[in-house]
Amino acid sequence: MKNHYTTYVVAILFACTFFLSSCSKDPAASILPVNTTHTLLNSNGFLAFEDQVTFQAYVEKFQKNPSDPSILHDIQFLESQSTELRKLDSLTLTQIAETGDLTGFEHMLKLVGDGDDKSLQPIVDDPILSRLINKDGLIQIGELVYQVNPSKVFQIRIVDFEQNKATFLASPEKVTQATVYQSQLAAAIKTTNALKILNKVESNSVTYENPGQGTCRFTAEVYLLDLGFYRKLAVRVKHEWRQRFWFTYYWGNSSAAMSMDGEINFSEYYTPFNKHYTASTQDDYKIETVIDETFNYVPLTWQNNVGTANCRGRNGLTYSLNF
pLDDT in tens, 47-106: 999 999 999 899 989 888 888 999 999 998 999 998 888 888 777 877 777 777 888 888
Q: Is residue 5 part of a domain?
A: no
The 3-state secondary structure of 77-96 reads CCCEHHHHHHCCCHHHHHHH
Same domain? For 260 and 310 the reply is: yes
Q: Of residues 49 and 116, which shows the higher confidence score? A: 49
CB 93 within 8 Å of CB 99? no
In-domain check, residue 300: yes
Domain final position from 137, 153, 181 = 181
Regarding whether 232 and 165 lie in a shared domain, the answer is no
pLDDT, greater one: 146 or 271: 146
254 and 124 together in one domain: no
195, part of any domain: no
Percent of the chain with pLDDT over 90: 28
Q: Are residues 134 and 80 in the same domain?
A: yes
Residue 294 lies in a domain: yes
Q: What is the pLDDT of residue 159?
A: 96
Confidence at 1, pLDDT banded by 50, 70, 90:
very low
The number of distinct structural domains making up the chain is 2
Same domain assignment for residues 125 and 215: no
Structural domain boundaries enclosing 132: 14-181
Specify whether 221 is located in the same domain as 111: no
Buried b (16+ CB within 10 A) or exposed e, 50-69: eeeeebbebbeebbeeeeee
Model confidence at 154: pLDDT above 60: yes
pLDDT tier at 7, thresholds 50, 70, 90: very low
42 and 113 inside one domain: yes
Whether 120 is covered by a domain: the verdict is yes
Of 118, 150, 181, the residue that ends a domain is 181
Sequence-ordered list of residues with C-beta below 8 angstroms from that of 314, at least 6 positions apart, any chain: 210, 213, 216, 241, 254, 256
pTM: 0.73
